[in-house]
Amino acid sequence: MSLVRRAVAEDAEEVLRLRQVMIDSMTPASPTEWQADSLPALRARLADPDGEFAAFVVEHPDRPGALAALVVGTLEYRIGGPNKPPGGLIGYVFSVATDPDARRRGYARACMDELLEWFRERDASHVMLTASPDAEPLYSSLGFTRDTTPSMRLYL
What confidence category does residue 153 fall into, taking pLDDT thresholds of 50, 70 and 90? confident
Average pLDDT over residues 66-95: 86
What confidence category does residue 51 fall into, taking pLDDT thresholds of 50, 70 and 90? very high
What pLDDT shows up at residue 146?
86
What confidence category does residue 120 fall into, taking pLDDT thresholds of 50, 70 and 90? very high
- Residue 85 CA from chain centroid, whole number: 24
What confidence category does residue 109 fall into, taking pLDDT thresholds of 50, 70 and 90? very high
pTM score above 0.75: yes
What pLDDT shows up at residue 20?
93
Question: 1-42 pLDDT, tens per residue?
Answer: 579 999 999 999 999 999 999 998 888 888 889 999 999 999
* CATH number for position 41: 3.40.630.30
Q: Tell which residue, 9, 10, 5, 25, has the closest CA to residue 99.
A: 25
Average pLDDT over residues 72-89: 81
Please indicate, yes or no, if residue 152 is contained in any of the structural domains. Answer: no
Range of the domain at 77: 4-141
Please indicate, yes or no, if residue 96 is contained in any of the structural domains. Answer: yes
What are the CB-based long-range contacts (under 8 Å, 24+) for 41-45?
42/12, 42/15, 42/16, 43/9, 43/12, 44/9
Please indicate, yes or no, if residue 23 is contained in any of the structural domains. Answer: yes
Average pLDDT over residues 108-127: 94
Question: Residues of the chain with pLDDT > 70: what percent?
Answer: 94
* Separation CA 154–CA 125 (nearest Å): 26
Please indicate, yes or no, if residue 151 is contained in any of the structural domains. Answer: no
Average pLDDT over residues 146-151: 76
How many separate domains does the chain show?
1
CA distances from residue 11 to 33, 46, 87, 124, 139 in whole angstroms, order as listed: 18, 8, 32, 26, 25
